[in-house]
Amino acid sequence: RLLSSEKVSDKNHSLPKPCWGKDMRLLFDQFMKKCEDGSWIHLPSYEYIATQRSQDFPTFIHASELINKEKLSQGRLFTKSFEDGLGFEYVMFYNDAEKRIVCVFQGGPHLQGMPGFFHGGAIATMIDATVGMNAIVSGGIVMTANLNINFKRPIPLCSIVLINSQLDKIEGRKLLVSCNVQSVDEKILYTEATSLFVKLNPEKEFD
Amino acid sequence: RLLSSEKVSDKNHSLPKPCWGKDMRLLFDQFMKKCEDGSWIHLPSYEYIATQRSQDFPTFIHASELINKEKLSQGRLFTKSFEDGLGFEYVMFYNDAEKRIVCVFQGGPHLQGMPGFFHGGAIATMIDATVGMNAIVSGGIVMTANLNINFKRPIPLCSIVLINSQLDKIEGRKLLVSCNVQSVDEKILYTEATSLFVKLNPEKEFD
C-alpha cells in the first residue's frame, strides 16, 4: 500500500528538522499521536510519492524527452528546491475515513511578496500541493485543472499555518477538493480555495 | 514618474542575463523595439518597485514588527530567491494605452511539479506577479483578493512562455485583471486566469 508507513524511505522530507519552529513540532507531535490508532496517516513527502508513481507512466518520460536533457536532469520539485528553513517546510497528515488532509506549513523568508508577508504565489503553491495530494491519494495520477483562491488576509512572513483540505466529490475523472488556510490557533482564516483535478489518461500525450 | 526609464537603477533584474534562452532574448529585443515610440514601457523588476512603494506605507512595517526581526531581515522576494536560471527569469512590458502587460517568462528546472513539467504553484506565482503588476501600475498598492486559474495544458519544464495580462475593469477599490499563458509562437494556450485586486487602505492594519 502506497501510504503505509513501511514505504517511508530515507527520502522522506516530512520529518522534524532543526529549522522547524516550536508550533510546527507541537503540531507534528499531536498528529503523530493521532496516527497511533490508524485514523490518521503521516504522509511521506510529495517528492517521494511523485517519484514512485511516475515510474508507472512512461508517457510522461516520453513527453519530457522533448526538453533539453541537461536542464531536465537538474529538475527539482518546486517545493523542495530551497535550503532548509528558507522556503517550504511542511508535513501532511491524511484521514482516509474523512478523505481529508491537514498540512502543517512553515514558510521561510524567501517566500516574501509584499514586505513582511507571504507572496500570493507561495500560498497558491502550498495550496496546490495540499489539495493535489488529497486528489492523488483518492485518484492516483491527477493534474490540476482549476484553482480558485480567495485571499482574505495577508499571512505574515515566517508564519506557521494549517491547511485543511477536503475531498468534496468525485465525478468520473474529475475530483473536487476544497481547503482553507488558518492560523495555528484556528482563530484567523487567511485563505479559502476550491480546486478541480482531472485523472490523467496514460494513453494521452501532451506533446 | 515611477515607470520612467530614468528610475531604473542597478537593482533592476529585468535585463538580459547569460542564462536567458534564445527565444527570451529575441522577444526582449522585439519588445525593446516597441518601446522606442513610447507605446510600450520596459518595466523594472517587481522587487525594485515594491521597495520604492513600501516606504510610503509605514503600517506594513508596523505589522511586520510582530514577526521575528532576524527572520524578516532574510526576507527575499519569492520570484527572486533562486540562482540565475534555476527559478523565475522574466521581463515585463507595459502598454499604458491598452492597460496591458506582457511578461516573457523562462522557468528554470527548480520549478518542477509533475516530472518534466512546471509545478502549478510556479505558474500561479508568475501569473500573480504579472496580473499584480498590472494592478499596481493602475491602482498603486494592491493586494490579491482572488486568483482563479484554469490549467488547460501542462507546461514543459524550462519552457519560455508569454503571459498576456489585461486590466478589464476598475470598480471603486477593486481592480479586475485577466491573463493567459501561451507558447512563444502563440499556438498553444496553456493557462487562463482571472484575478481581483483590492487597493489597500493605508489606515488599516492587519495585525
Q: CA Rg, chain B, in Å? A: 17
Q: Is residue A207 domain-resident? A: no
Could you list the residue range(s) of the whole structural domain that residue B86 is in?
Answer: 22-199
| Euclidean distance between CA atoms B97 and B50, whole angstroms | 23
Q: How many helices (H) and strands (E) does chain A have?
A: 5, 7
Q: Is residue B147 domain-resident? A: yes
pLDDT bracket for residue B171 (50, 70, 90): very high
Residues of A in contact with B125 (CB under 8 A): 119-122, 124-125
Return the pLDDT at B72.
Answer: 72
Closest CA to B2 of B170, B137, B161, B123: B137
pLDDT bracket for residue A50 (50, 70, 90): very low
pLDDT bracket for residue B203 (50, 70, 90): low
- Shortest Cα distance from B37 to chain A (angstroms)? 32
| Euclidean distance between CA atoms A96 and A91, whole angstroms | 16
Instruction: Tell me if residue B42 falls in helix, strand or coil.
Output: strand
B8, B44 Cβ separation under 8 angstroms: yes
- Helix or strand holding residue A34 (H, E): helix A22-35
Closest CA to A45 of A117, A110, A93: A93
Return the pLDDT at B70.
Answer: 67
Listed in sequence order, the residues at least 6 apart from A56 whose beta carbon sits closer than 8 Å to its beta carbon are: A141, A202
**In chain A, what percentage of residues exceed pLDDT 90?**
69
Q: Is residue B3 domain-resident? A: no
* Number of Cβ pairs < 8 A linking chain A and chain B: 208
Residue A146 has pLDDT above 80, yes or no: yes
Q: Which of A74, A110, A114 sits opposite B81 (nearest CB)?
A: A110
Listed in sequence order, the residues at least 6 apart from A29 whose beta carbon sits closer than 8 Å to its beta carbon are: none
- The CATH number linked to A80 is 3.10.129.10
- ipTM of the complex model: 0.86
| Euclidean distance between CA atoms A101 and A69, whole angstroms | 35
Residues of A in contact with B148 (CB under 8 A): 146-149
Residues of A in contact with B113 (CB under 8 A): 77-78
Residues of B in contact with A145 (CB under 8 A): 150-151
Q: Is residue B11 domain-resident? A: no
Q: Which of A77, A116, A145 sits opposite B72 (nearest CB)?
A: A116
Return the pLDDT at A45.
Answer: 72
pLDDT greater at residue B203 or residue B48: B203
Q: Is residue A5 domain-resident? A: no
Examine the residue annotation and report whether A56 is marked as an active-site residue of this protein.
no
Mean per-residue pLDDT of chain A: 85
Return the pLDDT at A162.
Answer: 98
Q: How many CB atoms lie within 10 A of CB B115?
A: 19
Return the pLDDT at A115.
Answer: 87
Using H for helix, E for strand and C for coil, what is the string for B108-120?
A: CHHHECCCCEECH
Q: Is residue B205 domain-resident? A: no
| Euclidean distance between CA atoms B199 and B139, whole angstroms | 6
Residue A52 has pLDDT above 90, yes or no: no
Of the residues B37, B84, B128, B168, only one is catalytic, namely B128
Residues of A in contact with B174 (CB under 8 A): none
Q: Give A5-41 pLDDT, tens digit per residue.
A: 334 344 567 889 999 999 999 999 999 999 999 999 9
For residue A180, list its beta bridge partners: A164, A192
Total domains present in chain B: 1
CB contact under 8 A, A112 and B78: yes
**pTM for the whole thing?**
0.86
CB contact under 8 A, A121 and B124: yes
pLDDT bracket for residue B68 (50, 70, 90): low
CB contact under 8 A, B64 and A144: no
Q: Which of A72, A149, A206 sits opposite B146 (nearest CB)?
A: A149
Phi, psi of B156 (to 5 degrees): -55, 140
CB contact under 8 A, B116 and A67: yes
Q: Is residue B17 domain-resident? A: no
Q: Give B82-128 pLDDT, tens digit per residue.
A: 999 999 999 999 999 999 999 999 999 999 998 889 999 999 999 99
CA dihedral for B107, B109, B115, B116, sign (positive or negative): positive
CB contact under 8 A, A148 and B144: no
Return the pLDDT at A9.
Answer: 40
Residue A186 has pLDDT above 90, yes or no: yes
Q: Is residue A15 domain-resident? A: no
Residue B8 has pLDDT above 50, yes or no: no
Residue B63: closest C-alpha in chain A: A116
Cell numbers 519544464 correspond to B157
Residue B132 has pLDDT above 80, yes or no: yes
Mutate to test the interface with A, among B47, B144, B178, B179 (most CBs of A within 10 A): B144
Give, as one character, the DSSP assignment of residue A117: B
